[in-house]
Structure 1
Amino acid sequence: MKNALITGINGQDGSYLAELLVEKGYNVYGIMRRKSVVDYGNVEHIKDKIHFIYADMTDVVSLINAMRISQADEVYNLAAQSFVATSWEQPLATAQIDALGVTNMLEAIRTVKPFCRFYQASTSEMFGLVQAIPQCESTPFYPRSPYGVAKLYGHWITKNYRESYGLYACSGILFNHESERRGKEFVTRKITDAVARIKLGVQEYIELGNMDSKRDWGHSKDYVYAMWLMLQQEQADDYVIATNETRTVREFVEIAFSKVGIAVEWSGIGVDEIGRDKATGKEIVKINKDFFRPAEVDILLGNPAKADRELGWERKISFDELVERMVNNDMELVKKEIAYNSL
């Protein structure tokens, strides 16, 4: 029976990964930061199957302690300040967690159990101002946010520890992956939550930023399986995990509304663009220039050929099913909220 240590276990990816590893018979350990109120987040439903350890990515001593307690055979580093907008407001905190935190975890592994296998959650945001379309493992990086820059450090320090110390350390360059468990600060969940509220009559419209941004969207459940596959290989390597399909934010909005029977009709250009309910003429989408990034990332499109070929990985949940799952989940959540508020 293997031991696995997951940082960021109560987030979207951490919860799906924990479910996968529990199902495969692992002893699962999860790192949590101490708070005044204990919050298990997305792993509330399986908290009794997880061994929790209090630690912090900025405190190497606590990570060494976590390694000693867990005696992990596999470490999945999913902890991060992962919201791009926040990285502009908190660039130093983002760097401490997303960059130096990776080094702290690698040092903890090297100190306690150097034969442990390590997975680093890298990101397509490292490509930023893309130098090639689609992006693959050899595409040059050009991050366009403090988040992307910090993640690039984490990516390269992982590669350096692999090559310098012989650690089994690999990075998954994961493109955008969403789910019903995504936080509402992210645009996809913001959209599906608003769609449910507008459909149920408790919200009039949603405000969004750049509608022309193109992203490669998959489902988190498929992507955490790729993480696990990476640590089962004979040699450590880095892999792009993506769908090789791209859609605009506008397309996401249209499909999400279509799942509740609303057709969106557009008028205007740029910040003056308006989305209306085709049946009623009501304004349901407005553009807010405050939601535009200081430096935009216009298109992200990943080529997962290497992962398909070497890992045998392929996505199972289509884009349409992803959106449908998110909308249906938010419809149920908002209905429960309305019912509770009416008591």
Structure 2
Amino acid sequence: MNKTALIFGVSGQDGAYLAKFLLDRGYSVYGTSRQTYIDNFYKLNISHLVHIFNVNLESYFEIEQLIISINPNEIYYLASQSSVAMSFKLPAETIKSCTLGLLNILETCRNHQVKTKIYNAGSSECFGDSLGIPICEKTIFAPKSPYAIGKSSSHWLVQTYRDAYSMFVCTGFLFNHESRLRPDTFVTKKIISTAQRIVAGSKETLILGRLDIYRDWGFAPEYVEAMWKILQAQEPDDFIIATGVSYSLKDFVINVFENLNLDWEKYTRQSEEFFRPNELLVSRADPSKAEQKLKWRAQKTMPETVKCMLYELDK
């Protein structure tokens, strides 16, 4: 029998790649989206295969009706405001988007004794600045933004419902992962898009905030496989999903411009306008648990991911 998956936040980068990954494995895929614009589906040639619903995540009734009608084998909760910078401007909306929809899903499954496996999208931001020490699943949370607070709260919901009600619910703490589907509001895609316009003849300057921040950048299509593997495990558990290699934002910029044979210093400058109120300087990961228990390991680190973004590759 084919499995059925319900993806909350299906039209974003991760949702679209996850939908394609599941469709390729014979799943029937349903999803929710705040957007009627589903360009990512057209880019992946799956627009005719995903059943999309517009649901108010803050409405228990709407989520209950959707889950009961679909009766999915797996639920993936990816529906949250995902920009750290934007979370400082929209703190209440960001925290609600991380938590209320997930809570309504958990309550629906508990109240109706639905045995669906549930994946929650956590974030490396939950752990704050590790001061260069690799983050593992036992690292204490130290959120530094409204987004990180929301993601930390969502995981505490996961822990509570898993422990109190023996539900199969898991969190994947995904470190930064990029692709051609990223919107230009993300700094990685902003760098890529600006450099491509410059090489095509634009006279603009790339303006950035701090260049000395370190992140673990991976390739999004690989990370959705990790999400799926988390729900295929025998027991519910939580996992760090990352490459294990961190680079500075300066390294990222240099890599992009070198790929296009451009002098990065000629076309970039820094501005305090793009400094965050509370910046996470160094983010490093220890993804060994995922490799040991899920047999999952990232194949692409930052340099390979940059090339995939520049040349719009999905593998």
What TM-score do you get using the length of structure 1 for normalisation? Answer: 0.88
Contact kept, 8 Å, 2:129 with 2:283, in 1: the verdict is: no
1:319 partner letter: M
User: Are 2:293 and 1:310 aligned?
Assistant: yes
Q: Aligned partners of 2:163, 2:155: CA distance in 1, in Å?
A: 13
Identity %: 37
Which secondary structure does the structure 2 equivalent of 1:329 belong to?
coil
Give runs of aligned pairs for residues 53-132 of structure 1, distance below 5 A: 53-130=53-130
Contact kept, 8 Å, 2:132 with 2:282, in 1: the verdict is: no
In the TM superposition, residue 263 of structure 1 has moved relative to its aligned partner by 3.2
Which secondary structure does the structure 2 equivalent of 1:20 belong to?
helix
Q: Aligned partners of 1:115, 1:90: CA distance in 2, in Å?
A: 34
In the TM superposition, residue 68 of structure 1 has moved relative to its aligned partner by 1.6
User: Are 2:150 and 1:150 aligned?
Assistant: yes
Q: Aligned partners of 1:309, 1:206: CA distance in 2, in Å?
A: 41
Q: Aligned partners of 2:311, 2:25: CA distance in 1, in Å?
A: 28
1:164 partner letter: A
Q: Aligned partners of 2:249, 2:301: CA distance in 1, in Å?
A: 16
Which secondary structure does the structure 1 equivalent of 2:198 belong to?
helix
Q: Aligned partners of 2:69, 2:151: CA distance in 1, in Å?
A: 27
In the TM superposition, residue 131 of structure 1 has moved relative to its aligned partner by 6.4
User: Are 2:39 and 1:41 aligned?
Assistant: yes
What are structure 2's unaligned runs of at least 5 residues? none
In the TM superposition, residue 327 of structure 1 has moved relative to its aligned partner by 1.8
What are structure 1's unaligned runs of at least 5 residues? 265-274, 277-283, 331-343
Contact kept, 8 Å, 1:194 with 1:203, in 2: the verdict is: no
In the TM superposition, residue 54 of structure 1 has moved relative to its aligned partner by 2.1
1:28 partner letter: V
Q: Aligned partners of 1:155, 1:43: CA distance in 2, in Å?
A: 28
Q: Identify which range, 124-133 or 245-254, moves more after superposition.
A: 124-133
Which secondary structure does the structure 2 equivalent of 1:48 belong to?
coil
Structure index of larger Rg: 1
Which secondary structure does the structure 1 equivalent of 2:221 belong to?
helix
Which secondary structure does the structure 1 equivalent of 2:269 belong to?
strand
Alignment match, 2:3: 2
Q: Aligned partners of 1:318, 1:32: CA distance in 2, in Å?
A: 29
1:312 partner letter: K
Q: Which runs of 4+ in 1 moved over 3 A?
A: none
Q: Identify which range, 160-169 or 64-73, moves more after superposition.
A: 64-73
What TM-score do you get using the length of structure 2 for normalisation? Answer: 0.95
Contact kept, 8 Å, 2:239 with 2:290, in 1: the verdict is: yes
Alignment match, 2:232: 232
Contact kept, 8 Å, 2:252 with 2:302, in 1: the verdict is: no
Alignment match, 1:16: 17
